[in-house]
Amino acid sequence: MLMEMAKPVEIDPREVISDSEVSYFNENGFVLPKVGLPEADAAALREKIEQVFRDNPDWAGIVRMPHIPTRPGQSEGVIGGEALFKIAIHPTVIAAARRLIGNNLILWGGEIFAKPAGTGKRTPWHQDCYNPAVKAGAGRKLPRSVMIWIAVDDVDADNGCLRFIPGSGRDGRIDHAQVQHTRDLLNFEADTEGLADKAVDGVRPSGFYSCHDLFVLHGANANVSGRRRAGLTFHYMAAEDVYDRSFGSASGSGRDKPAPLADRPIWLVLGENKDPLNDFIRGHQNLEDLDQLAEANRERLTALFN
């Protein structure tokens, strides 16, 4: 059964992300909104994530596509992914993405990042466009995409919060160097010489989230505290852009197992699809219930926000 969430009668996206926060995001590539999930939904999120941890013990550090349930035909996902899919289309989260990148949205990815107390690995400085499955649509210089990083635990500098370098991605992609024999969470890193001292800590209480685009440089220190640092993330892109399935697998992502970008299911979650190259069929084997849920939610939120 999908996790029950609060059913909004009305929601104003401007109350989720303010005008000043939109401006900050456009200028700097990230924002730490003052509004988080409703408390009841944040509590439900914490409960469900703990259940996912119990039901999926054989992973370390990163779980990719946690909103996908483990079903025949699916190469990624988790036991209990149905409940996390409900969070991916939560009205507060969709409203935030809408404010930041536009009225037409596609859900194209997600992760759980969990750094254990005392042993959580460092995340090197990087951009999320290092594997460019998301490409700019016709007439657009750069694609518009946002990762919404929801804190499951209280997250601060002591347990390895995300850190952002303001304005670092304004010109698009930056070269990343492969790093061999590293113990870090990724085996590549961007050059941040002269920039790292400008980094801003993404301190987030549980149930609140940060938002960042494809190009801003971000990373995290190792978790050497006595507390876990877990976050649930979802990626949204503007439906004017293209999810490029010709890109194949992402050999640099996740280290031990390339991410099967070409076969991932994606969903239109708000507004209309504006590019005919976006494929909403491939990767959807045995996900008909999620497809129906996403479509009903898309229709409801599109009408609500317009």
Q: What does the pLDDT read at residue 2?
A: 41
pTM of this prediction? 0.92
Asked if pLDDT for residue 230 goes beyond 80, the answer is: yes
Average pLDDT over residues 41-68: 91
CA–CA distances in Å: residue 110 to residues 31, 36, 56: 18, 18, 16
Token pair of 232, please? 């649930």
Domains of the chain, each with CATH number or no CATH = 14-305 (2.60.120.620)
Please indicate whether residue 184 or residue 134 has the higher confidence score (pLDDT). Answer: 134
Q: Per residue in 10-51, pLDDT tens? A: 677 889 999 999 999 999 999 999 999 999 999 999 999 999
Q: Per residue in 119-160, pLDDT tens? A: 778 788 888 886 678 999 999 999 999 999 999 999 999 999
Query: Between vectors from CA 253 to CA 287 and to CA 206, what angle results, nearest 5°?
Result: 70
Q: What does the pLDDT read at residue 192?
A: 76
Q: What does the pLDDT read at residue 5?
A: 46
Asked if pLDDT for residue 233 goes beyond 80, the answer is: yes
Asked if pLDDT for residue 250 goes beyond 70, the answer is: no
Give the DSSP H/E element, type plus range, for residue 71.
none
> Which residues, at least 6 apart from 235, have a Cβ–Cβ distance to it below 8 Å?
107, 108, 109, 110, 128, 134, 145, 146, 147
